Structure 1
Amino acid sequence: MISRKTFLKSVAGAVAVTGLGGGTAEAAGKPRRLRGGVAYDTGVLHAAGEPLSRVRWNRRLLEQEIRVIADELRCPSITAFGTEIGRLTETTAAALRRGIEVYVQPRLYDHPQDQVLEHLAESARQAERLRHGDDVKFVTGCEHFIFTPGIVPGETFQERLANMATIPPEEWPKIMERLADFVARAADVARRNFRGRITYAAVGGLEPIDWNLFDIVGIDYYPYFATDAEYTKDLAQYRRWNKPVMVLEFGSCTFTGAAQAGGMGWDIIDYEQDPPEIKPGHVRNESEQADHIARLLRVFDSAGLRGAHVYTFIAPNLPHHPSQPEHDYDMASFSLVKTLRERHHDELSPYRFERKRSFDALARHNRG
């Protein structure tokens, strides 16, 4: 997989050509204190013929998890993301009943662009049906740069990620034009089917988006900086649009070095083995995940952002194994709770979850 450093070097020229837009700083005055929310996975189809990322799904599990998010974590908002529109709608309704604001984010990876837009349109219609005032926002997709074909060469998002390291610099302006065209089409589809506020989940620092198309600047934010001042400087670029800035995803996996690995922290599982194994040299570390989340919540608060969602509440497809570190897939998870299956390698197995240190870190921040 391409590293963030390699990718930034590859696209530097294209970003400079496209630009990040103008605008002035947000209005002066201290905003309300930022309380953290969570991203909530309703099940994503990552590849044709595979099950959704959440195989087990029922009303009891949904209601239990939303109750914990509302009552124990005290989250004011969530990003509900997934492929099945029925699950997105069910989750949105459950969260609204608990007084939680919802950012509805449909995800349809590696499908033709027209199908992605049709999926967006129906998702937007269902979100509009549930909206009362400003309690539901609509997210016009996630990181189309990576997950939607026809922008970067490659049939699957894995191929596109791999191809990015070899694309010559002179090709990047054309790629950025294709990205801008599709994002504009997605925004238009959303406006025609949803009357509330809309945003987009952009790869932080890597997708130069025309935020004039949207009501809220939305970013998936995984860079790592040694100092808080560097984070604050980096985040300033998004405030130039004089619009609310929402971090729709941020977080860390659960091993030593995961904070620095950022959004690629998941890539520590060797799927060539049967069953898959954690690659040698990785050590479980709940404290690193918790400390990173607590630190960024403080940074986002001081930067005056509208809100931030930890990725993610639960990842049942990456269960924890307390006695076999090589099969402790939760190390590669960004989740706040660890899943324990009755049958570890069976995706259909019943499971329970336990709170991780990162869960406690978010709860403490929100209580504070």
Structure 2
Amino acid sequence: MRWSRRQLEREIGLIASELRCPSVNAFGSDLGRLAETTSTALRHGMEVFVQPRLYDRSQEEVLQHMAEAARQAERQRRGDNVKFVTGCEHFLFTPGILPGATFMDRIRGVENIPETEWPAIVGRFREFMGKAVDVTRREFRGKITYGSAAGADSEWNDWSLFDLVGLDYYQYFKTDAEYTEDLGRYRQWGKPIMVLEFGCCTFTGAAEAGGMGWDVLDFEADPPVIKPGIVRDEREQADHVARMLRVFDQEKLAGAHLYSVISPDLPHHPANRDRDYDIAAYSLFKAVRERFDDESSPYRLEPKQSYHAFRRHNC
């Protein structure tokens, strides 16, 4: 993937100034880049939620990676401008909690786990999260949270360990009252509720598909293609983003981070629907590469309808 400091500065500047975002959720596996992203966002006056991610590595490696990320975040923290996220959906992405050798195995297999196995799974999850909080608290003195998959593990996590309830919120309901009831489950802890991720992809039915919207891209084909029957739909994405921002305002949450603004790994192909990977993107912009098949190719950004919906809310 193409990456440069100039590009980082430009895109963080866009998020801070053009989209008027006061806060950003910075995540990644490369801790050097994570620290640089944090520093850049802080220079633009943003609050930063620092979230290290390390997929399919041993629990010990994940905890060591988290500890180093927490040390870096503490060095950058001034007061409350940096908060720390103790990873994301560990029950899927970290081995040893759910059965399955890879996170894709675990995602595909989670629906088939017998009910009798869940108490042991919850126990393993809570044991790991206790360790994650311990290593984080040793290195970081600010506020901490966790990127929890809303709906999947609402009863798993002991939020008393954290300063904020952190949700990856891809729930879909037909009425606002259902959102009120669903989010109300997290108020019992008396903690601020922060949505760390929300959004949907760019096709008809994407709002209901939620966090699995990306699965419309068939990675087994060579090259990958959008699956048959999927219709590009920028209006559905825009309407869902606008609706969720309104719901979060009504519920008086601490804040919400959209996933995502730019997805250069899912470029738009205006002439080939089967390879219009932006259909599977959650981003506000289409990334249009100069050379479509070259991952290192420069790209330009074209706003989608969701960009305008998001900007109208913030501006």
Q: TM-score range by the shorter chain?
A: over 0.9
Q: Deviations over 1:232-277 (max 9, x none)?
A: 1100011111110000000000001100111100001122222211
Counterpart for residue 253 of structure 1 = 201
Counterpart for residue 3 of structure 2 = 57
- Alignment counterpart, residue 150 of structure 1, candidates 96, 99, 104: 96
Identity %: 63
5+ residue gaps, structure 2: none
Aligned residues: 313
Q: Secondary structure at the match of 1:102?
A: strand
Pairwise CA distance, 1:102: 0.3
Structure 2: which amino acid aligns with 1:323? Answer: A
Counterpart for residue 206 of structure 1 = 152
1:329 aligns with 2:309: no
Matching of residues 33-48 of structure 1 within 5 Å: none
Q: Deviations over 1:318-352 (max 9, x none)?
A: 00011111110000000111111111121111111
Q: Deviations over 1:103-157 (max 9, x none)?
A: 0000000000000000000000000110000000000000001000000011100
Cα RMSD for the two superposed structures: 0.8
Matching of residues 1-368 of structure 1 within 5 Å: 55-207=1-153, 208-367=156-315
Pairwise CA distance, 1:200: 0.2
C-alpha distance in 2, partners of 1:59/1:180?
38
Structure 1: which amino acid aligns with 2:42? Answer: L
Q: Deviations over 1:262-309 (max 9, x none)?
A: 110000112222221111111111111111011011101111100001
Report runs of 4+ in structure 1 exceeding 4 Å deviation: none
C-alpha distance in 2, partners of 1:262/1:306?
22
Which structure is richer in relative contact order (CA contacts within 8 A, separation 6 or more)? 1
Structure 1: which amino acid aligns with 2:284? Answer: L
Pairwise CA distance, 1:354: 1.3
C-alpha distance in 2, partners of 1:224/1:205?
10
Structure 1: which amino acid aligns with 2:181? Answer: K
Structure 2: which amino acid aligns with 1:161? Answer: I
Q: Secondary structure at the match of 2:185?
A: helix
C-alpha distance in 2, partners of 1:102/1:261?
28
C-alpha distance in 1, partners of 2:211/2:112?
20
Q: Secondary structure at the match of 2:215?
A: coil
Q: Deviations over 1:149-208 (max 9, x none)?
A: 000011100111222222211110000000001011101111000000000000102122
C-alpha distance in 1, partners of 2:7/2:282?
19
C-alpha distance in 1, partners of 2:218/2:110?
22
Q: State which drifts further: 355-364 or 209-218.
A: 355-364
Structure 2: which amino acid aligns with 1:132? Answer: R
TM-score by length of 1: 0.84
5+ residue gaps, structure 1: 1-54
Q: Secondary structure at the match of 1:137?
A: strand
Structure 2: which amino acid aligns with 1:238? Answer: Y
